[in-house]
Structure 1
Amino acid sequence: MNQIIIIGSGPAGFTAAIYAARAGLKPLMFASAIGIGGELMNTTDVENFPGFPEGIQGPDLMQKMQEQAERFGTEVVYDDVTELDVSGEVKRVTASDGTVHEAHAIIYATGSAYRKLGLEDEERLSGHGVSWCATCDGFFFREKTIAVVGGGDSAMEEATFLTRFADKVYVIHRRDELKASKIMQQRAFDNPKIEFIWNSGVSAIHGETEVTGLTLQSTVDGSERELAIEGLFIAIGNDPRTHLVHGKLDLTDEGTIAVDGRSSRTSVAGVFAAGDVIDPHYRQAITAAGSGTAAALDAEHYIAALEQKQNAVPATV
């Protein structure tokens, strides 16, 4: 029987593991069978995580987090979770090999996945001009010409933010009107650095080692045109990885796991959630790490109360 099982190996999961391990709870962490470290593994320079004034590569940051968690006793299992049973006081986690692990508490920190265009060179040029996070990477595009794909609030926010750095920002949208709120639309329309390209989708990304341009295809007549740019930001949404808890935990209207206020407590006692899977707004490594701290502390208090209850001596008559 484990005291805590952590599902997910991004900043939230590893920070939760560090705190839980230092509390002597010997957490068992399930990292992906394919890749450990979450979205930061696809990020090159991380310059906004405190403690690294010269910046750090995303994979290096995650390796340091893993080393720190393991130093205090976290056991990392390189396997995927296929099933959760959170109905009883004892929680059960089934791995892809069929092994069932039991725990008093679960910290669910599976993060979210950026929606992608599905283009051939999208992954290849990730971190080399293709990005899904303006606040993470905007600094690297000073005095450059870039493009943002999307038509919602996130796309308008990204485009407006990027004008702090870039000389020119194209907004590419498949329709002739935006889905964004009126105030976000107006801010973008009023910004002289932003130019809209309507009724168009990206059909190809160009560049050998860095993004150099796009092929745009008209959604009206199918015609194509080339657009020279030096960076592409994809802002078509993201999806929290909640597939394992559908019908088991309460979700918000945005599809994230619902928690009690600023805590990590979910709708099921003994199950805690942290990171992007509860955060539809910020989605930063540092906010995920802080969320993981809260989850570990909440889980620690829950386990302490559970042990106190189990060790209570029944009153004699």
Structure 2
Amino acid sequence: MSKEIKDIDLVIIGGGPAGLTAAIYAARANMEALLLEDKFIGGQVKNSYTIENYPGFKNISGADLADLMQEQAEEAGANIDEFDIIENVKFNDEERLIETEEAIYRAKTVILATGAVPKKLPIKNEEKFFGKGIHYCAVCDGAMYKDKVVGVVGGGNSALEEAIFLTNFVKKVYIIRRKDSFNGEKSVIDKVMNNEKIEVLFNKDLVDVEGENFVTKAIIKDTKTGEISEVQLEALFGYIGTEPKTAIFREYIKLNEYGYVLTDGNMRTNIKGVYAAGDVREKEYRQITTAVSDGTIAALEAEKFLNKLK
């Protein structure tokens, strides 16, 4: 049986802060819009233990902030389809098609807000121990290691904040940092350095992990002397950056060398009527606030484009 073809004003691909913001603006503009998310609504922000730099909230969990955004979008009239897998897309200046498991959407405009996913740790045994000591979400998996010793690999805000979060459960956290300083905010760095459960291993690079069925130790290398040593631990949480989720539309949309979508300042891509917003887009700063800004602009530009078609 062939799939039904549905004409629609706007399809938003991705349900993180950028996509949800775009959905709010689209709903308020009375656009016929659909937000498609192949996993859970909220994106990476959903996994943040605490957020202290989003205006209006002195302190809020990522899950709570994502839920509030979703609630606001739905109350505004946004149509959100969670856990709907996109099987194929076809974009050109005349036609924008998005095929899911249930239907084919012929959209007048599209906003790409697929975000990014954590980079895998570049070690030999990553696949062997994934889920068995190798993790990328402390909020999701940290409680598994109550009263254990764990490690965090990275040096940005995400790594530091998740290390702090892990101290709620574990006995000790090693932060494995290949440089002699962090990239995070000073307030977060101060919390890390003053936490008695955290030990920072500066100038140390992760070589690999070892164990039988589960991780039991990390092999690290001194980046200055080359000396190899071992750290006894039961889990490693990787926070070494992200990779954009652009594989499904890279045939049509111009990307930079790292796979991020190229746009102008108004979120426009190389295809007419197709916009990009949030972490999937090439830009210097990737914060919740910048994602929200991108989503706003993309939705307003989509509205403008639709008005020209009428």
* Pairs within 5 Å for 1:273-292: 273-292=276-295
- Is 41-50 or 23-32 further displaced after alignment? 41-50
Match of 2:32 among 20, 26, 37: 26
Give the match for residue 69 of structure 2: 65
Alignment check: 8 A CA contact 2:210 2:219 kept = no
Match of 1:298 among 301, 305, 310: 301
Give the match for residue 146 of structure 2: none
Instruction: Count residues in correspondence.
Output: 268
State how far apart, in whole Å, the 2-side matches of 1:103 and 1:12 are.
Answer: 19
State how far apart, in whole Å, the 2-side matches of 1:137 and 1:218 are.
Answer: 17
Residue 134 in 1 paired to residue 156 in 2?
A: yes
Q: Cα gap change, 1:44/1:131 in structure 2, threshold over 3 Å: closer, same or farther? A: farther
Q: Which segments of 5 or more consecutive residues in structure 1 lack a partner in the other structure?
A: 172-194, 206-212, 308-317
* Pairs within 5 Å for 1:1-317: 1-32=7-38, 34-53=39-58, 55-78=59-82, 79-97=84-102, 99-117=103-121, 118=126, 119=130, 120-123=132-135, 126-127=138-139, 128=142, 134-136=156-158, 138=160, 141=164, 146-149=174-177, 157-158=182-183, 163-167=189-193, 170=200, 195-198=202-205, 200-203=206-209, 215-217=217-219, 225-226=230-231, 234-260=238-264, 262-307=265-310
CA RMSD of aligned residues (A): 3.6
After superposition, give the CA deviation of every residue in 1:238-291 in whole Å (9 maximum; x if it has no partner).
Answer: 21011121120111233210002x210000000000000004532211111111
Alignment check: 8 A CA contact 1:27 1:73 kept = no
Q: Cα gap change, 1:46/1:103 in structure 2, threshold over 3 Å: closer, same or farther? A: same
CA shift for structure 1 position 105: 0.1
Task: Name the SS for the 1:46 alignment partner.
Answer: coil
The residue type paired with residue 35 of structure 1 is: F
State how far apart, in whole Å, the 1-side matches of 2:220 and 2:157 are.
Answer: 29
State how far apart, in whole Å, the 1-side matches of 2:252 and 2:86 are.
Answer: 15
Task: Name the SS for the 1:259 alignment partner.
Answer: coil
The residue type paired with residue 301 of structure 2 is: D
State how far apart, in whole Å, the 2-side matches of 1:23 and 1:225 are.
Answer: 58
State how far apart, in whole Å, the 1-side matches of 2:210 and 2:185 are.
Answer: 24
CA shift for structure 1 position 88: 4.6
Task: Name the SS for the 1:89 alignment partner.
Answer: coil
Q: Cα gap change, 1:218/1:138 in structure 2, threshold over 3 Å: closer, same or farther? A: closer
State how far apart, in whole Å, the 2-side matches of 1:113 and 1:88 are.
Answer: 29
State how far apart, in whole Å, the 2-side matches of 1:66 and 1:3 are.
Answer: 20
State how far apart, in whole Å, the 1-side matches of 2:229 and 2:154 are.
Answer: 24
Alignment check: 8 A CA contact 1:46 1:136 kept = no
State how far apart, in whole Å, the 1-side matches of 2:74 and 2:8 are.
Answer: 16
